[in-house]
Amino acid sequence: MEESHIVCIAAGASHSLALTDCGIVASWGKGEDGQLGHGSSAEVSSPQAVSSLLGKDICIVRCGAEYSLAVSKAHEVWSWGWGDFGRLGHGNTTDQFLPKPITFFSGMIIKVLSIWHPAGPVSNV
């Protein structure tokens, strides 16, 4: 088994994400609104890999209060968790219990991803 190292930890109001240098995302904490990305609302007391992101080569993770964001090296932006006010970027207010790509960002290069407010500068170059 290949050794990996944690390169980033992000914290929301009651959940956390960790990112390894192999692009694996793990989450733990409160899952009520889907912010853990495991497909349920269950609470998780120790880090568990977000299985639907395995193989996506994630390079950035961020947490909002009750939602999560990830960016892959292929410049895909994923969001999941509490969907109120359209904060997940999917054109609705539905909670997402699994990571879902935000199609608006297709073909753009994400330079920065902010914490607590899902916004940031993008480029087509």
Euclidean distance between CA atoms 94 and 87, whole angstroms: 10
- Give the pTM: 0.86
For the chain, the domains span 6-123
- Can you read off the two tokens belonging to residue 65? 């209060």
* Res 118 pLDDT > 70: no
- Contact between 68 and 37 under an 8 Å Cβ cutoff? The reply is yes
| Identity of the amino acid at 8 | C
pLDDT tens for residues 39-83? 999 999 999 999 999 999 999 999 999 999 999 999 899 999 999
pLDDT tens for residues 20-46? 999 999 999 999 999 999 999 999 999
**Which long-range contacts (C-beta less than 8 Å, at least 24 apart) are formed by 101-109?**
101/76, 101/77, 102/77, 102/78, 105/75, 105/76, 105/77, 106/76, 107/75, 108/75, 109/75
What is the enclosing helix (H) or strand (E) of 63?
Answer: strand 58-63
- Contact between 110 and 122 under an 8 Å Cβ cutoff? The reply is yes
In terms of Cβ atoms closer than 10 Å to its own Cβ (0-12, 13-18, 19+), residue 79 is: buried
Euclidean distance between CA atoms 74 and 26, whole angstroms: 19
